[in-house]
Structure 1
Amino acid sequence: MRKVQYEFQEDFFIPIPLDTNNITALSPFLVPQDHLGHHAVFMAMAAFTFFLFVAGTAINLLTILCTVQFKKLRSHLNYILVNLAIANLLVSFFGSSLACYSFWNKYFIFGSTGCKIEGFTSTLGGMVSLWSLSVVAFERWLVICKPLGNFSFKTTHAIIGCIIPWIFGNIAALPPLFGWSRYIPEGFQCSCGPDWYTTENKYNNESYVAFLFCFCFAVPFSTIVFCYGQLLITLKSAAKAQADSASTQKAEREVTKMVVVMVFGFLVCWGPYASFAVWTVYHRGEPFDLRLATIPSCLSKASTVYNPVIYVLMNKQFRACMIKMVFGKNIEEDESSTSSQVTQVSSVAPEK
């Protein structure tokens, strides 16, 4: 690749060869970005985002339809999982599909307005997803660890738990539409997100990125770690009290494994994006390969598949209903599933 310089424009920020004077001729809204990578790389990214679109849309749509069809799935916790599925659908249907078609064409073919729409919907869905995960963790902490005593998680609480992520998500996603940062093509210029790169003071990018990192990553992640940490402590205490119970010991091991997977999945999907954004903001002027932004962007979109696999498909009751709905086949539900084991173990935990 030839040596490049980074050029700022109102609607994009791209690397261009030093011997190029007409930046408009390389606009990511007008021409293929062949100078950024080999044709095979764009096709591979198109295939990956196509998979995210198909799998993410199918799994999350099936989650919603199953909850509507099977009354036994309409628990308070599952309301929040449906909320998570709706947020994931927003990302897969708008974000992954538009990115797939753009990677196929090797530039963001939908123009500046389409970029703002894709950036906003992906950011909104992602933020709602993050906060929904923290609400799920908070709900399990309240019900199993009982910090408020015999607190009853009712429908009203579940509805509030569904509304709050959308409020917080809009607080995070709307500012770039009104001048606090902006939505521009990122990485290979085939998907859009907040502007982490430019130093134009009028966009106040540094303050926006700091806000996103603290409010939409650090706080949800801290909530998840704290709540699941307390859950593990409670389950270990219950398992110790029932040392002779094989089912209790199995429940403790299963829940420990699930918690590790949940936290690890959160970090894999969102850690690179948050780290990259903070690095670019606080290392202004240092050289870096803008194409690397594609990696954290795609990992965050992969959460639309990863999250339902963990929170829905690993739930035996949900899985049984999905199989029945898709294949018309009944499978025997294992009453000793992880969720029922957690309830059993938590029943012997000391009330606070």
Structure 2
Amino acid sequence: MGNATRNISSGVNVDPDFYFASVVSGIVMMLMFVCSSVLSPIVLWALWKTERFKSPIYRMIGLILFNEVLVRIFGSPLLITSMLSVRWLYFDVGCVFYAFLMTWLGVTTTSLFTCVAIERYIIMCQPDLRHHLTVHAANITGVICYIHGLIWAITPLLMVNGYVYEPSRLSCTPDWSHDNIGYIMGLLFVCFIMPVLTSMYCYITIYKVIRRHTIRTGFGSTIDNNVAFNTAITLGTFLLSWTPYVCIALHKTLGMEEQINLSKEITLIPLVTAKTAGLCHPLVFGLNNSDIRNVIRSELKHFCCQTFCIKRLSRRTSSGRLKSTAQYDRSNERLNHQENEVTHKNNTYQQVNKDSYEVIHSSRTSTEV
């Protein structure tokens, strides 16, 4: 093939290294898509069935999982198919739709993530303010987070460049060029740096409170340890998901392309890591929670029990039908045999009578003669 591989569907020469990286990324994305498409709805459904869903903090977590479900339905299929085809398949209209939706849901999820950290901080460190954490307040906060994300998603549509293709041309994003440095720096500061700093302050303060409680009492509370573990893992997954994207964006916005040349293969890393949140959030917020695990376990047992009982009942019914059919066949054979015997006896009796009649008739005839 020479130095390039021809993409037959598009007629464009594709570098073989990029072709391989794109296909591998698409396969990895497909595996994450399958796992997260199963986990996110199950955890969201189990969370809705628990009493914890009535608490404000778990309303926020429920909205985060709901966003992940929307991403899996409307976003991931477009990206996966484009990666496997090594080109964007859905024209400019699909590009704008994908970038707009991912920006909206991404910023909204980041805001909800920050709200979860603040609510946990209030619960653990500011007990006097707990009475402000109501379900009504959580619902209003969720609406504000969605409006906040919508503002940042609509803004590129009002700009000159708007949403553009990424360097890999497998996805679309806001224009990271130096011409939009005001929007890009504001987006990074408000939607990444501030949430990270706020969450780190909240979680570090929570850890200090738990540590102080452990030293004072001599043993740690299981609930407090679980909260500290969950929040630390949540912060780690957030940084893992969005830090590569921020680095690539700053690299282009600050005009560092001439000093540091990044290949198109490297630009695929943020596309993959950004979607890891859909797999991490159900694990951190869902399966790590004992109440949600119990709901999933009980429903799974109930489903398996119903399936087993139905199969067993159908097996018994079918075996009973077979037994009754066999008994019916044997009884029919017995009746047929009896009928054949009676018919044979009748035929024999009639033949005997006929022979007797002929003998008597022949004797009479001979006598007369």
Q: 1:132, CA displacement in angstroms?
A: 0.9
The answer to whether the 8 A contact 1:272-1:296 is kept is yes
Q: 1:84, CA displacement in angstroms?
A: 0.3
Change over 3 Å in CA distance of 1:326–1:207 after alignment to 2: farther
Change over 3 Å in CA distance of 1:299–1:174 after alignment to 2: same
User: Do structure 1's residue 282 and structure 2's residue 254 form an aligned pair?
Assistant: yes
Structure 1, gaps ≥5 residues long:
4-16, 18-24, 331-352
Q: Which amino acid aligns with 1:299?
A: T
The answer to whether the 8 A contact 1:33-1:107 is kept is no
User: Which deviates more from structure 2 when the two are superposed, residues 108-117 or residues 123-132?
Assistant: 123-132
The answer to whether the 8 A contact 1:176-1:182 is kept is yes
Instruction: Tell me the TM-score normalised to structure 2 length.
Output: 0.73
The answer to whether the 8 A contact 1:262-1:310 is kept is yes
Count of residues paired in the alignment = 300
Q: 1:186, CA displacement in angstroms?
A: 1.8
Q: Distance in 2 between matches of 1:69 and 1:184?
A: 42
Q: 1:133, CA displacement in angstroms?
A: 0.8
User: Do structure 1's residue 170 and structure 2's residue 150 form an aligned pair?
Assistant: yes
Q: 1:119, CA displacement in angstroms?
A: 0.9
Equivalent in the alignment of 2:299? 325
Q: 1:145, CA displacement in angstroms?
A: 0.8
Equivalent in the alignment of 2:186? 211
Q: Distance in 2 between matches of 1:33 and 1:130?
A: 38
Q: 1:195, CA displacement in angstroms?
A: 2.0
Pick one of 131, 135, 138 that aligns with 1:158: 138
The answer to whether the 8 A contact 1:134-1:223 is kept is yes
- Sequence identity percentage: 20
Q: Distance in 1 between matches of 2:93 and 2:145?
A: 26
Q: Distance in 2 between matches of 1:47 and 1:89?
A: 20
Q: Distance in 1 between matches of 2:104 and 2:301?
A: 33
Pick one of 101, 114, 122 that aligns with 1:134: 114
Q: Distance in 2 between matches of 1:175 and 1:101?
A: 28
Q: Provide, for residues 305-335 of structure 1, a one-character-per-residue CA deviation record: whole Å limited to 9, x for no partner.
A: 11221122211111221233345379xxxxx
Instruction: Tell me the TM-score normalised to structure 1 length.
Output: 0.76
Equivalent in the alignment of 2:283? 309
Q: 1:146, CA displacement in angstroms?
A: 1.2
Q: Distance in 1 between matches of 2:188 and 2:301?
A: 43
Q: 1:80, CA displacement in angstroms?
A: 0.8
Q: Distance in 1 between matches of 2:130 and 2:86?
A: 57
Higher fraction of helix: 2
Q: 1:272, CA displacement in angstroms?
A: 1.3
Q: Which amino acid aligns with 1:262?
A: T
Q: Distance in 2 between matches of 1:82 and 1:150?
A: 20
Equivalent in the alignment of 1:344? none
Pick one of 87, 91, 97 that aligns with 1:111: 91
Equivalent in the alignment of 1:220? 195
The answer to whether the 8 A contact 1:94-1:122 is kept is no
User: SS of the counterpart of 1:308?
Assistant: helix
User: Which deviates more from structure 2 when the two are superposed, residues 279-288 or residues 45-54?
Assistant: 279-288
User: Do structure 1's residue 259 and structure 2's residue 231 form an aligned pair?
Assistant: yes
Change over 3 Å in CA distance of 1:325–1:263 after alignment to 2: same
Q: Provide, for residues 224-282 of structure 1, a one-character-per-residue CA deviation record: whole Å limited to 9, x for no partner.
A: 11111221122122222211xx353x555544433332222111111111122112211
Q: Distance in 2 between matches of 1:42 and 1:67?
A: 36
Q: 1:147, CA displacement in angstroms?
A: 6.3
Q: Distance in 2 between matches of 1:282 and 1:292?
A: 18
Pick one of 261, 273, 290 that aligns with 2:245: 273
User: SS of the counterpart of 2:89?
Assistant: coil
Pick one of 37, 52, 74 that aligns with 1:57: 37
The answer to whether the 8 A contact 1:175-1:181 is kept is no
Q: Which amino acid aligns with 1:161?
A: T
Q: 1:159, CA displacement in angstroms?
A: 0.7
Equivalent in the alignment of 2:215? 240
Task: Show the 5 A alignment for 1:78-97.
Answer: 78-97=58-77
Larger Rg belongs to: 2
Equivalent in the alignment of 1:346? none
Q: Which amino acid aligns with 1:305?
A: L
Q: Which amino acid aligns with 1:320?
A: N
The answer to whether the 8 A contact 2:242-2:274 is kept is yes
The answer to whether the 8 A contact 2:64-2:109 is kept is yes
Pick one of 60, 75, 92 that aligns with 2:55: 75
Equivalent in the alignment of 1:294? 268
Q: Provide, for residues 94-123 of structure 1, a one-character-per-residue CA deviation record: whole Å limited to 9, x for no partner.
A: 221111111121111100100111111111
